[in-house]
Amino acid sequence: MRALDFAVIVLYLAGITWFGARFRQKQKTLKDYFLGGRDAPWWAIGFSIVSAETSTLTVIGTPALSFTGNLGFLQVVLGYLLARILISWLFLPAYFRREMFTAYELMSLRFGDRIRRLTAGTFLVLRALAEGVRVFAISLVISIILGTGETVSILLIVGLTLFYTFEGGMTAVIWTDVVQMILYVGGAILSFWVILHQIPGGWSHVAAVAAPLGKFQVFDFHFSPTAAFFRETYTFWAGVIGGCFLTTASHGTEQLMVQRLLSARSQGESRAALFSSWILVCFQFALFLIIGVCLFVYYGDRGLAAPAVRDRIYPEFIWNNLPHGIAGLIIAAILAAAMSNLSAALNSLSSTTILDFYKPMTRGKYAEAHYLRLARLATIAWGAILFSVALVARHWGSVLQAGLSIASILYGALLGVFLLGLLTRRVDEVAAMCGMSAGLLTMFYVKLGTGIAWTWYVLIGTTVTFAAGLVVSMARGINTVNPVRLPRNED
């Protein structure tokens, strides 16, 4: 029994649940529940963005990447910066032309209600599948601690997160994200320091062992116009291009991220939150990759066999090797990453369900309290769905790459149709839906019938969707703008 570690973990779980639930009294309207009343400062939203895109996949999956490979994943992070520039220039001005609650309202304004339902439905499927993988990832950590089965572990983390998300809405999501990000990044820094001090010779020894093996290599500029090139996941071209398209899709079209951007007080604060989040993301990815290299040297020096499931390397080392109390703190930090991401997913799934499907279907004829009550019920329903998906996700392989590849399959079609709406004026709703359908079908073939690396998925899906939409538009002889126009900027 490790009473001190268990006490730290239990104290954290109880404390963060209580903290999030305290925001219930502020949830009086849909704007409060889904956008936090647009009252959060930009820096808090920036922290929340990082927490949402990090998750347990990053915390336990990234060290496993550098343990078996090198630092090449950082090439993807460079693409994240290019994406933020594009989102700031193209997407944010469109979102802030009027008060919007979801990303898919933009599609309704540009094309119509059918494409709004199609894009919103695609998001619901995408986020349910991807979040299911993330929930399963945290069950790996909890099962190490408690020695319980994965089912009990999944139920525990979903239940606690569901409680404070149900109570506190987006305000609870943002402020618990701030607390949890500080905790898990601080925990990672502490674990890095402890690991380094358990390696004789410290950092100089790590560098002496890892450098000749290419463990510190970041860039791979290899390029060859062959099929084999597109099967390589972490080259400079795949990383920068793939990372750019992936993040443009996730932060520009997916409600999970757009909801945070829309929660800012102004377009300028939203932009500040977006760019500050990249600095934090770059730092934390580098930190977790370096931790993986240190673990590689640690295991090699002692002749230890790595766990069969590489994603268990980091949490198992923490639990089995760090001093009591410190181990509990860092495990609590990993739980923090899981809960921050899960709470965001629950709130965004609920907002899309109510605002993009139910409220338009009822033509907004009910009082605000009616929709707010159903929003909370939808949060519970999605908690049950994510629990079910997580059980199935146990058979999908590496948690980090499974989560990214699932998301990348659907992101391309979403990004393609958003670009059709923002960059063209001759494509109508029918052409946009045909383009999106073509993009989705193409990506299912790419995933199931080819060996192309996931880093290329969003680029391929976006290109097919955009091109198909234009072709259908020209074939139908559409030469005038769709009468559903984007509103003028009111600023």
The mean pLDDT of 3-17, rounded to a whole number, is 80
Choose the most confident range, by mean pLDDT, from 35-39, 263-267, 304-308, 479-483: 263-267
Q: For residue 368, what pLDDT is reported?
A: 80
The DSSP output letter for 88 is I
Contact 78, 239 (CB under 8 A): yes
Q: For residue 147, what pLDDT is reported?
A: 67
Is 396's pLDDT higher than 60?
Answer: no
**Side-chain half-sphere of 2: how many Cα atoms within 13 Å?**
21
The DSSP output letter for 488 is P
Task: Using alpha carbons, select from 161, 171, 176 the residue that is nearest to residue 380.
Answer: 161
Which pLDDT band holds residue 26 (cuts at 50, 70, 90)? low
Hunting for tokens 């990815």 — which residue is that? Answer: 285
257-294 confidence digits (pLDDT tens): 888 888 888 899 999 999 999 998 889 889 989 998 99
- pTM comes to 0.78
Residues 6+ apart with CB under 8 A from 175: 19, 20, 23, 40, 44
Which pLDDT band holds residue 491 (cuts at 50, 70, 90)? very low
The two tokens of residue 450 are 């080819």
How far apart, in whole angstroms, are the C-alpha atoms of residue 203 and residue 127?
A: 39
Q: For residue 21, what pLDDT is reported?
A: 72
Cα angle value 403/310/220 (rounded, 5°) = 70
Q: For residue 410, what pLDDT is reported?
A: 81
The two tokens of residue 337 are 């990453």
Domain 3-395 has CATH 1.20.1730.10: yes
Is 255's pLDDT higher than 90?
Answer: no
Is 195's pLDDT higher than 70?
Answer: yes
Is 1's pLDDT higher than 50?
Answer: no
Range in 24-33, 194-203, 347-356, 368-377 the model is least confident about: 24-33
The mean pLDDT of 135-160, rounded to a whole number, is 72
Report which of residues 313 and 479 the model is more confident about: 313
Q: Where are the alpha helices (DSSP H) in 87-112?
A: 92-95, 105-110
Contact 36, 48 (CB under 8 A): no
Which pLDDT band holds residue 144 (cuts at 50, 70, 90)? low
Q: For residue 106, what pLDDT is reported?
A: 87
Residues 6+ apart with CB under 8 A from 259: 34, 35, 102, 103, 170, 344, 347, 348, 351
Q: For residue 486, what pLDDT is reported?
A: 53
Q: For residue 227, what pLDDT is reported?
A: 45
The two tokens of residue 472 are 């259908």
Q: Count CB atoms within 10 A of the CB of residue 310.
A: 19
Q: For residue 110, what pLDDT is reported?
A: 87
Is 478's pLDDT higher than 70?
Answer: no
Q: For residue 13, what pLDDT is reported?
A: 77
Q: What is the largest CA-CA distance in the chain?
A: 73
The number of angstroms, rounded, from the C-alpha of 361 to the middle of its chain's C-alpha atoms is 29
Which pLDDT band holds residue 407 (cuts at 50, 70, 90)? low
